[in-house]
Amino acid sequence: MVDKVLMRSKYRGTLLGALVGDCCGAPFEGQLMDSGSKLVLKKNLDTLEGPFFKAPYKKFTDDTAMTRCVANALLDPNGFSQKLLAKNFVMEYYKDPTRGYGAAVGDVFAKLRTTKIADPVGPAQEQFDGRGSYGNGAAMRVSPIALYCAKREKDQLLQLVHDSCTVTHANILGINGAILQALAIKQCLLLDPNGILDKKMYLSSLKRDINELEKANDRDLDANCNAYETQLSAIEQLLDGKVEPSDENVLNMLGHNVSALYSVPTALFCFLKCTAGTLNIAGQSSFRNTLEYAISLGGDTDTIASMACAISGAYFGSTVISENLIRHCEDAEGMIELADKLLEL
Summarised one tens digit per residue, pLDDT across range 279-338 is 555 557 899 999 999 999 999 999 999 999 999 999 999 999 999 999 999 999 999 999
3-class SS at 131?
coil
Q: Mind giving me the DSSP string for 249-278?
A: HHHHHH--SSBSTTTHHHHHHHHHHH--S-
Can you give the pLDDT at residue 224?
Answer: 67
DSSP 117: T
Q: What is the pLDDT of residue 195?
A: 82
Mean pLDDT, residues 92-107: 97
Average of pLDDT values for 20-38?
Answer: 96
pLDDT tens column, 172-200: 999 999 999 999 999 999 999 988 899 99
Compute the distance between CA of residue 299 and CA of residue 304 in angstroms, rounded to an integer.
9
pLDDT band at residue 216 under the 50/70/90 scheme: confident
The mean pLDDT value for 90-117 works out to: 97
State residue 194's pLDDT score: 86
Residue 181 in contact with residue 264, Cβ under 8 Å? yes
Residue 151: which residues within 8 A CB-CB, separation 6 or more? none
pLDDT confidence of residue 53: 87
pLDDT average, residue stretch 190-211: 94
Give all strands (DSSP E) within the chain, no chain letters: none
Average pLDDT score over residue span 215-231: 76
SS3 153: coil
Higher pLDDT, 222 or 292: 292
- Own/partner contacts of 104-108, CB < 8 Å, gap of 24 or more, are 104/128, 104/133, 104/135, 105/62, 105/133, 105/137, 105/168, 108/167, 108/168
CATH of residue 180: 1.10.4080.10
Q: 134 with 173: CB under 8 angstroms?
A: yes
CA distance 311 to 206: 13
3-state secondary structure of 35: helix
State the Cα angle at 182 between 168 and 58, rounded to 5°: 75
- Contact, 329 vs 289, CB < 8 A? no
Work out how many domains the chain is built from and give that number: 1
* Reported confidence tier of residue 41, pLDDT bands at 50, 70, 90: very high
pLDDT of residue 218: 61
Backbone angles phi, psi at 58, to 5 degrees: -80, 115
pLDDT at 338: 98
What are the angstrom distances between the C-alpha of 253 and each of 94, 259, 274? 37, 14, 18
How buried is residue 233: exposed, middle or buried, by Cβ count under 10 Å (0-12/13-18/19+)? middle
* Cβ(15)–Cβ(338) below 8 Å: yes
For residues 312 and 145, what is the distance between their CA atoms, to the nearest angstrom?
16
pLDDT for the residue 57: 82
Please count the other Cβ atoms lying within 10 Å of the Cβ belonging to residue 239: 16
No. of helices (H) and no. of strands (E), the chain:
18, 0
Does 144 score more than 60 pLDDT?
A: yes
Look at the chain and count its residues. 345
CA torsion sign for 14, 19, 25, 30 is positive
> Average pLDDT of 274-280?
67
Looking at residue 225, its pLDDT comes to 75
The pLDDT value recorded for residue 268 is 98
Q: What is the pLDDT of residue 56?
A: 72
Burial (0-12, 13-18, 19+ Cβ within 10 Å), 325: buried
Strand partners, 329: 58
pLDDT digits (tens, 9 = 90+) for 44-78: 999 999 998 887 789 999 999 999 999 999 999 99
As a whole number, the mean pLDDT across the chain is 94
Q: Find residue 58's DSSP bridge partners.
A: 329
In sign, the C-alpha dihedral spanning 318, 321, 327, 328 is negative
Q: By residue range, what is the domain housing residue 242? A: 4-344
Mean pLDDT for 155-180 is 98
The pTM (predicted TM-score) of the whole model is 0.96
- At residue 55, the pLDDT reads 77
CA pair distance 314, 281, nearest whole angstrom: 17
